[in-house]
Amino acid sequence: MRVLGIETSCDETGIAIYDTQRGLLAHQLYSQVKLHADYGGVVPELASRDHVRKTLPLIEQALQEAQLTAQEIDGVAYTAGPGLIGALLVGACIGRSLAFGWGVPAVAVHHMEGHLLAPMLEENPPAFPFVALLVSGGHTQLVQVDGIGQYQLLGESVDDAAGEAFDKTAKLMGLDYPGGPRLARMAESGEPGHYKFPRPMTDRPGLDFSFSGLKTFAANTLAATDGSPQQLANVARAFQDAVVDTLLIKCRRALQQTGLKRLVVAGGVSANQHLREELQRLMQHIGGEVFFPRPEFCTDNGAMIAYAGAQRLAAGESTDIAIKTFPRWPLNQLQPPANPQEG
């Protein structure tokens, strides 16, 4: 089954074609970073308009890359939420309309399910069950995953997500948008231990997160520095270490609580090299395994939507003709496919 995937939940237009027998056939991605950089963050209306301009040309490019015609597509998957309502509507309207015109089924995909399943695109995919750490600009969640659509939320951020805290702290430091990756690069030259930031909510039971206080702590620390490049790097290092340590502590607790030894890490922040190294060290220490998507599939992309949609379409699931999007859509509201397939 060949499935066209469309991702337009925020500021990246992602298109991909996934074949349940042959794997990923095409992957096209357009980032709006330059468009939003002057504003210091995503402007929803501009994002929606840019998706309108880019989605159809990228679909044509993906078909060319896969050496397929539209008549050879067996289904369409599109992100229906969570995300920016206008951006979601662009992908949903195009995806549902193409499926109707081509006479093939369509399925609405949960954006975070796409992230969660992104490591399945790698040569060594994780087996169910596992614990997933979904860590991005909009979400920080720990989820027990027993199968596709079988998700138990273990903990989540009660305020800023980790990626959001990275971006806001970077902005305090005067770094250009998107600030999170820039802060991570700056942290590489910071002195470990020069500043000591708190590890929020690790001194109490539970698996929830809170990162907004770290931003305030960073702001107060920055105000007390001389603003030199080395001092800024030291603050960046301390902030990143605090976030990574907090994520590690919570992941260890989640694995202990569930008795599982497999950890999946996905979402934009999963591309952070320091986080990857520390989680690999943790899993080696406890005799477990950790799985990441390749860096290009950590951020929003069409490949993860095509894969997630293919699993549900192959199981006979489809979405009716009505176009619906869900800016807020709890992951644990999803149901497993009636007839789950492998591939």
Structure confidence by residue, pLDDT tens digits, 21-50:
999 999 999 999 999 998 989 999 999 999
Q: Does one domain contain both 42 and 104? A: yes
Q: Prior bond to 125 cis, omega within 30?
A: no
One DSSP character per residue, 59-108 reads: HHHHHHHHT--GGG--EEEEEEESS-HHHHHHHHHHHHHHHHHHT--EEE
Q: Does one domain contain both 143 and 78? A: no
pLDDT at 138: 87
Q: Does one domain contain both 77 and 157? A: no
Is residue 184 assigned to a domain? yes
Q: Does one domain contain both 303 and 252? A: no
Q: Does one domain contain both 226 and 284? A: yes
Q: Does one domain contain both 32 and 176? A: no
Residue 180 assigned to a binding site: yes
Instruction: State whether the Cα torsion 94-96-99-103 is positive or negative.
Output: negative
Other CB atoms within a 10 A radius of the CB of residue 119 amount to: 23
Q: Does one domain contain both 8 and 74? A: yes
C-alpha angle with apex 253: 247 to 255, nearest 5 degrees?
Answer: 100
Q: Does one domain contain both 32 and 142? A: no
Mean pLDDT by 10 residues, the chain (343 residues): 98 98 98 93 96 98 98 98 97 98 98 97 96 94 97 96 95 92 96 96 96 95 95 98 98 98 97 97 97 96 98 96 95 84 50
Q: Does one domain contain both 172 and 144? A: yes
Closest CA to 233 of 199, 275, 185, 196: 185
Is residue 141 assigned to a domain? yes
Structure confidence by residue, pLDDT tens digits, 121-154:
999 999 999 999 999 988 999 999 999 999 999 9
Q: Is 301 helix (H, G, I), strand (E, B) or coil?
A: coil
Is residue 146 assigned to a domain? yes
For position 109, which CATH number holds? Answer: 3.30.420.40
H/E stretch holding 282? helix 273-285
Structure tokens, 317: 């699931």
Domain that holds residue 223: 128-292
Distance in angstroms (rounded) separating the CA atoms of residues 88 and 190 = 39
Q: Does one domain contain both 286 and 305? A: no
pLDDT at 340: 57
Is residue 240 assigned to a domain? yes
Residue 135 assigned to a binding site: yes
Is residue 58 assigned to a domain? yes
Number of separate domains in the chain: 2
pLDDT at 177: 87
Residue 318 assigned to a binding site: no
Angle of helix 212-223 relative to helix 162-172, nearest 10 degrees?
20
Query: What order do you get walking across the sheet with 2-7 strand by strand?
Result: 23-31, 12-19, 2-7, 75-81, 106-110
Distance in angstroms (rounded) separating the CA atoms of residues 24 and 20 = 8
C-alpha angle with apex 53: 84 to 326, nearest 5 degrees?
Answer: 20
pLDDT at 343: 45
CA 252 to chain centre: 21
Amino acid residing at 169: T
Q: Does one domain contain both 43 and 78? A: yes
Is residue 339 assigned to a domain? no
Residue 40 assigned to a binding site: no
Residue 136 assigned to a binding site: yes
Is residue 123 assigned to a domain? no
Distance in angstroms (rounded) separating the CA atoms of residues 121 and 125 = 7
Q: Does one domain contain both 270 and 326? A: no
Is residue 164 assigned to a domain? yes
Residue 29 assigned to a binding site: no
Residue 194 assigned to a binding site: no
